[in-house]
Amino acid sequence: MATQWTGKIIGGLLGLFTLGPFGAALGAVLGHQYDQGTERPGGDAGASFGAHFFTATFEVMGHIAKADGRVSEREIAAARAVMAALRLDEPSVQAAIACFRRGKQPEFDYAGRLQAIRRACVGRPDLLRIFFEIQMRAALDGTDLAPPTRGHVQRLAQVLGISAFEFAHIEAALRSGHAAGARQAAAPGLTLDQAYAVLEVAEGASDAEVTKAYRRQLSRHHPDKLKANGLPDTMIEHAKERTQQIIVAWDRVREARGIRG
């Protein structure tokens, strides 16, 4: 069963948290191609990783949702929103719900699961970052990252090797993304706030800092670099799209600031 949907999940996750709904659709299409590849000889390793990533994503989400001793309707809705955004079919939704429920159980080996996903993502820091962003987004939607949820997410960051500085930066970017998405519905196009969020830099940063952030993001999402880190060939087009988004954001910020070159 895993080879029927794991590629779509990974592709959708990559797209959702970089390009929004359009990116999720693109990622799912690319992931479908990946699924087809895993059904041929030699695809088992990719399918196994995809299933592991999917399982860990929703188990950890369920565990964090239970941080205060109960799971609220809002937290359930937040998890459901992730599933809907990924355009999961019904069997995949049921699998995700089962993982979410398993993560809520007292006997769930949270520490073991985190160590396992970290080992599975060795050499693939882009996927580890996406894994963390998914958990933070669900926590933001579920509790606005209020205590004790924030404590759980902070400990998750520590295990995954995400610094306190990066934690704050990701939180700010995701919060900005929520606000930018609401504005975009009324006025299509990349706003200046969205552009800064894409570049992951503060609006008050200097021109030199903004330029450095642009180059860092461009390097982080370069298709050849991602491929060297284990990104499947079927997702390279996604990396190109992400790179284009970064370039568009840079042009928007550069124009607003009057930066030459």
Residue-level pLDDT at 13: 56
Per-residue b/e over 25-36, b at no fewer than 16 CB within 10 Å? bbbbbbbbbbbe
Query: Is pLDDT of 105 > 80?
Result: yes
User: What are the tens digits of pLDDT across the range 212-261?
Assistant: 999 988 887 777 765 665 543 433 554 666 677 788 889 999 999 999 86
- Residue 201 vs residue 180, higher pLDDT: 201
pLDDT band for position 173 (cuts 50, 70, 90): low
Residue-level pLDDT at 242: 67
Least trusted range by pLDDT, from 125-129, 162-166, 197-201, 252-256 = 125-129
User: What are the tens digits of pLDDT across the range 33-66?
Assistant: 444 444 433 445 555 776 777 888 899 999 999 9
User: What are the tens digits of pLDDT across the range 107-153?
Assistant: 999 999 999 989 888 877 777 877 887 899 899 999 999 999 999 99
Distance CA 13, CA 43 (A): 20
User: What are the tens digits of pLDDT across the range 67-88?
Assistant: 989 999 999 999 998 787 666 7
Least trusted range by pLDDT, from 5-19, 72-86, 104-118, 181-195 = 5-19
* Cα dihedral sign, 53-56-58-61: negative
Residues contacting residue 86 through CB under 8 Å, at least 6 positions apart: 8, 9, 12, 13, 16, 24, 28
Residue-level pLDDT at 243: 75
**Phi, psi of 105, rounded to the nearest 5 degrees:** -70, 145
pLDDT band for position 14 (cuts 50, 70, 90): low
Enumerate domains of the chain plus CATH numbers: 2-162 (no CATH), 188-261 (1.10.287.110)
